[in-house]
Structure 1
Amino acid sequence: MQIQREGMAYKVDHEYDYLFKIVLIGDSGVGKSNILSRFTRNEFCLESKSTIGVEFATRTLQVEGKTVKAQIWDTAGQERYRAITSAYYRGAVGALMVYDITKKQTFENVQRAIPESEAQAMAEKDGLTFLETSALEANNVEKAFQTILLDIYQIVRKKALAAQEAAASVPAKGTTIKPKKEKIEKAQRDGLQVKLDIIAINSPQALIHDCTSSLALAEKTRSGN
């Protein structure tokens, strides 16, 4: 299996078309771990414990006819783990910012406001998508991940097309082949000017970079980290 990194997304042959790394960000106890387990295993744990460091799980699904493998990283919310968890943000192409609607402080820590209407307005202002979810009731969890994966894929596709168009607009470099001297002299005697250019054109390679998408999630039920 061959893996090619294109910017911050990974394009993979054979088993799947793309590998997207997404991180879950938010305070401890807002429900990040249960959101992850609901999406990847369709499970919910009432006695979920706080994550120590980082954990991750994967799930493969179809996005606009492409097979996408989502690699979801669940980061610890406690302050003492911030230095460790922030290192795992590298290479991520998406982020789910999770807060508990019953705890205003968790909103403030991700710089969002607690009422749904205000959170929606803030999300629109910052160019984010806003959803209220419940891992306990399996409400909107699937939609949240489907939304961010679709956003990321569309960004990747748009940048690939833009790169191809840019490459196509650049004059191709090639080799100029001139006719032999006697042919030029004969053409000049006949009153003609001769110049023959043969251009070797290389197929443009699409370059993808700076692919990012963010989604603000309001977790309705406080259900562990």
Structure 2
Amino acid sequence: MARVAELQDYLFKFLIIGNASTGKTCILHQFLDNEFKHEGTHTIGAAFGSKVVTVSNKTVKLQIWDTAGQERFRSVTRSYYRGASGALLVYDISNRESYNDAINWLTEVRAAASPNIVIILCGNKNDLEDDRRQVTFLEGSRFAQEHDLMFLETSALTNENITESFEQCARIIISKINSGNIDPSRMYSGIQCNATTITAPHNENSSNNLKQKSAFNCAGCQT
């Protein structure tokens, strides 16, 4: 089948980080394919998917790395932090340990990624019954305020705030570009400008569509 060139205003490198079993892979599948997939096995290293969204009147391609949450893979997943412009930091509202560990993930990603990385804190699995909740909405909100993060509670099962999390993160990045707080031409900014993606005309946004070639006009932008 013939391949076509599609122009996007920006390409952003995104991460999904947090402890294992918080629903990171389910969040990615829900965002890409609009369906819930049970996590059968833990992610090893990182999984990848991409999707084109329209945010703030800009067409943005999100390249999303779903990183492994298990401790034995931490040295591997850290290698994906460099050049990330946005991240979803995910904890499980029914697992206090995953919430307590959020500060460690936050410290790591801020040390290794772009200094201007935009991070959305996601309290996932808010579809669960109240008697299973171990972390309140107020706790999540306070943590986000203390660490200059945006905060949303999400559900990969019901699709609540999944798309909003990614789009809100992209919207903030665009706002910071427009205000001059982020320079997309800076090395390892995680942002590429005027991206031309060569891809098949079908199934563009699927997590299965991983074989793509891109050309960019912003020579200083690297991921």
Question: What range is the shorter-chain TM-score in?
Answer: 0.5 to 0.7
Note if 1:82 corresponds to 2:74: yes
1:96 and 2:88 correspond: yes
What is the rounded CA distance, in whole Å, between the counterparts of 1:124 and 1:24 in structure 2?
20
Name the residue aligned to 2:44: 52
Identity %: 39
Q: Select between 41-50 and 114-123 the one with higher mean Cα deviation.
A: 41-50
> Equivalent residue for 1:142?
163
Tell me the CA shift for residue 73 of structure 1: 0.5
Quick one: distance in 2 between partners of 1:77 and 1:128? Answer: 20
Map residues 110-189 of structure 1 onto 2, 5 A cutoff: 110-111=102-103, 114-159=135-180
Per-residue deviation, 1:211: 5.8
Give the residue type in structure 1 aligned to 2:151: F
Distance in 2 (alpha carbons) for counterparts of 1:210 and 1:91: 4
Output the TM-score relative to the length of structure 1.
Answer: 0.64
Q: 1:47 to 1:122 in 2, by over 3 A?
A: closer
The change in CA–CA distance for 1:140 and 1:78 in structure 2 (over 3 A counts) is: same
CA 42–14 in structure 1, closer or farther in 2 if over 3 Å, else same: closer
**Distance (Å, rounded) in 2 between the aligned partners of 1:58 and 1:128:** 23
Q: Which protein is bigger by CA-based radius of gyration?
A: 1
Q: 1:47 and 1:82 mapped to 2: Cα distance? A: 19
Q: Equivalent residue for 1:199?
A: none
TM-score, structure 2 as length reference: 0.65
SS at match of 2:47: strand
* Correspondence 1:196-215 to 2 at 5 A: 207-208=185-186
Counterparts of 1:31 and 1:147, CA distance in 2: 19
2:7 is matched with which residue? 15
Structure-1 residue corresponding to 2:97: 105
> Hey, what does 1:166 align to over in structure 2?
none
1:19 & 1:107 partners in 2: Cα distance? 30
Match of residue 27, structure 1, among 11, 19, 23: 19
- Measure how far apart 1:41 and its partner are: 1.2
Per the TM alignment, residue 127 of structure 1 is displaced from its structure 2 partner at its CA by: 1.1
> Which portions of structure 1, spanning 4 or more consecutive aligned residues, are displaced by more than 6 angstroms?
none
Equivalent residue letter for 1:94: G
Q: Give me the whole-angstrom Cα distance separating, in 1, the residues matched to 2:39 and 2:172.
A: 33
What is the one-letter code of the residue matched to 2:169? I
What's the offset of the Cα at 1:46? 2.5
- 8 Å CA contact retained: 2:25, 2:39: no
Where in structure 2 are there 5+ consecutive unaligned residues? 104-120, 122-133, 191-223
- Give the C-alpha shift of residue 126 in structure 1: 1.4
Once superposed, what is the RMSD of the aligned Cα atoms?
Answer: 2.4
Contact 1:93 1:152 in 2 (8 A): yes
Q: Partners in 1 of 2:179 and 2:75 — Cα distance?
A: 34
What secondary structure does 2:74 align onto? helix
Quote the offset at 1:118 in angstroms.
Answer: 1.8
Secondary structure in structure 1 of the residue aligned to 2:152 = strand
